[in-house]
Amino acid sequence: MSVSRQPVQHNDSEQQRVLVENPRVFVDFHNADAQGRLRLNCIGTIEDLSAQKIELQTGQQLTLYSEDLEVDGIVEYSQSEQLWVVVIDWDEIREVEEVNPLQKQLLK
């Protein structure tokens, strides 16, 4: 069941708070399990988690990205595959403008 939401406008301080609360982590959108959860086991994901010193835990919120797409999700552990996955709403994937190199430095 998908919940429809209206877009929420954020001010700059609120966007910065969201970035702090929801770390932005690379993900391969083609690497989903049978339940539609994204696996957090590709090299780009592992590098992002390591660089940001993120220790995954159930219920943790992440913003996942790949190229010009991103989506928010909730971390859980897949007992059947013995790896971390993220539950997302596939209808909530959004296109984002590419961040320029100067902005990338500021976000790190």
Asked if 69 and 96 count as a contact pair (C-beta separation under 8 A), the reply is yes
- Is residue 2 situated within a structural domain? no
**Domain interval for residue 100:** 12-107
The answer on pLDDT for 7 being more than 70 is: no
On whether residue 26 sits in a domain, the answer given is yes
Residue 29 lies in a domain: yes
3-state secondary structure 33-97: CCCCCEECCCHHHHHHHHHCCCCCCCCCEEEEEECCEEEEEEEEEECCCCEEEEEECHHHCEECC
pLDDT at 3: 34
Amino acid identity for residue 63 in this structure: T
**Inside any domain, residue 62:** yes
For the segment 39-88, what is each residue's pLDDT rounded down to a tens digit? 999 999 999 999 999 999 999 999 999 999 999 999 999 999 999 999 99
C-alpha span between 15 and 40 (Å, rounded): 24
Look at residue 52 and tell me if it is in a domain.
Answer: yes
For strand 69-78 and strand 83-88, is the pairing parallel, antiparallel, or unpaired? antiparallel
pLDDT tier, 22 (very low <50, low <70, confident <90, very high otherwise): confident
Whether residue 14 has pLDDT greater than 70: no
Q: Look at residue 63 and tell me if it is in a domain.
A: yes
pTM, to two decimals: 0.71
Query: What is the CA 81 to chain-centroid distance, rounded?
Result: 20
Binning pLDDT at 50, 70 and 90, where does residue 104 land? Answer: low
Residue 3 forms part of a structural domain? no
pLDDT of residue 9: 44
What total number of domains does the chain contain? Answer: 1
Lowest-pLDDT choice from 2-11, 21-30, 48-57, 75-84 = 2-11
